[in-house]
Amino acid sequence: MKNSSTLLLRWATAIILLAHSIPSLLSGGVNDFGELYLNAVGFAPLGVPLAWAIKLSHAGAAICFIFNKYLKWAGIITMGILVAGIVMLHFKEGWYVVGPGRNGMEFNFLLIVVILSILFPNGWKS
């Protein structure tokens, strides 16, 4: 299988993306994210559709990582969302997600590096 060296990273990333998207898609939490956060920070009236696009893109990227297809697009879109999350929310909370801080950027940073490792399994020369 092509990119079999990234199998564990791809599947682990897929599990994280599904765990981050599916519950809110099924519970209506995605609407709250759109209405209560995205609309409030200036995306109104597009907050809810944007929230759905974000959560569906996570689920779609997870499927791409599982089946080893369209990795470049899935990775670029997901990393863009993760960077936006850092800029808009996590940076001001600091580094740590838990422990010495709360809701920081360390988790997004790690996911970005993992996705880069999936996209460039042989380093920057690939």
Half-sphere exposure of 66 (CA within 13 A, CB side): 11
Sign of the CA dihedral running 33, 36, 42, 48: positive
Instruction: Enumerate residues 6+ apart whose C-beta is below 8 A from 111.
Output: 13, 16, 78, 82
Q: Give the chain's residues under pLDDT 70.
A: 1-3, 126
| Per-residue confidence (pLDDT) for residue 52, from 0 to 100 | 97
| Per-residue confidence (pLDDT) for residue 2, from 0 to 100 | 55
What's the one-letter identity of residue 92? K
- Whether residue 49 has a cis bond before it, omega within 30° of 0: no
Distances (CA, A) of 10 to 21, 83, 87, 94: 16, 19, 25, 27
| Per-residue confidence (pLDDT) for residue 124, from 0 to 100 | 79
| Per-residue confidence (pLDDT) for residue 106, from 0 to 100 | 96
| Per-residue confidence (pLDDT) for residue 3, from 0 to 100 | 53
| Per-residue confidence (pLDDT) for residue 7, from 0 to 100 | 96
